[in-house]
Amino acid sequence: MRGLEFLVFLLLPLAVLGVWVVYPILATVVLSFTTSSGFSLGSHIAVVTERSPLKALIYPEPGPYPPWGALIHNALWIAIGLPLVVFLGVVLAYLLREAYGSGAVRSVIFLGMVLPGVVSGLTIRFMFDADIGIFPKLFSLLGIQELAKTWTIYPQTALLALILGSVWLWLGFSVTIFSAGLDAIPKSTIEAAIIDGASPVQIFFKVILPQLKPVTLVVTLMTIMWILKIFDIVYVATGGGPGGSSTVLALIMYTYFASALEYHKAAAVATILALLTLIPAGLYIKSVLAGEK
């Protein structure tokens, strides 16, 4: 009887997961491996070997600046954006802990998290516009004229503008998680370090940072997953251009699906993207389960 009640209790969530999660995923995977003639790897091979800079996952003729292919662009996004999000997140959370007016500063930082993707994309365009953008104005004052231009219309700077803009958008999440982690650290450990004569720098690096390791892992994995599925700000700010210099995997998938109407190739890109996302997702689930033991 108790087992039956447990089964009834799980029936609704399992049905919801089956209809809205499991079935669409399985259908997408099946679609990516089939053609009108049956099972085929053709769609996967086609998207991986695509040579057009607007659709290429790995551009076969890379130059000194993008386009290098959506897969490389996503990897570069992680390589630049992830360290900035983690470093700025922990430093700002620590500095704002007991600072006067920290609530207002946190609100401004967190604003990027609550803005719709379309608004965020437009904001990034304005941030790097030669006439009104703060970054071009700043480099103009510094006399660096190569960067005192509209970043989003040049292949040398379009991807970098999106990466730097996205750091601000995701920084609110990082600061919030690190602030919660800092609040969970027992004050007695910090007081003991002060009594032992440790300097503020030593306390930060040898007492606080080691205790933030689980929080850092969460921020790292969640940031990687967010970067892999990023789409809206790229679509609005640059559309993947100029010349495919700022394409990402999710935008390539959309291009195949909505512009080229090549559904099998769109499903193939979606499958590749899902497999890449499963790596940090699996590590995140493993860390959560380890924390519950």
- How do residues 6-27 score in pLDDT, each as one tens digit? 777 788 888 888 888 899 989 9
At 131, which amino acid appears?
D
- Write down the CATH number for the domain with range 70-292: 1.10.3720.10
Q: How far apart (Å, rounded) are the C-alpha atoms in residues 163 and 246?
A: 10
Contact 244, 56 (CB under 8 A): yes
Give percent of the chain with pLDDT exceeding 90: 44
pTM reported for the whole predicted model: 0.88
Over 80: is that where the pLDDT of 189 sits? Answer: yes
Q: How far apart (Å, rounded) are the C-alpha atoms in residues 188 and 170?
A: 32
Q: Coil, strand or helix: which one is 34?
A: strand
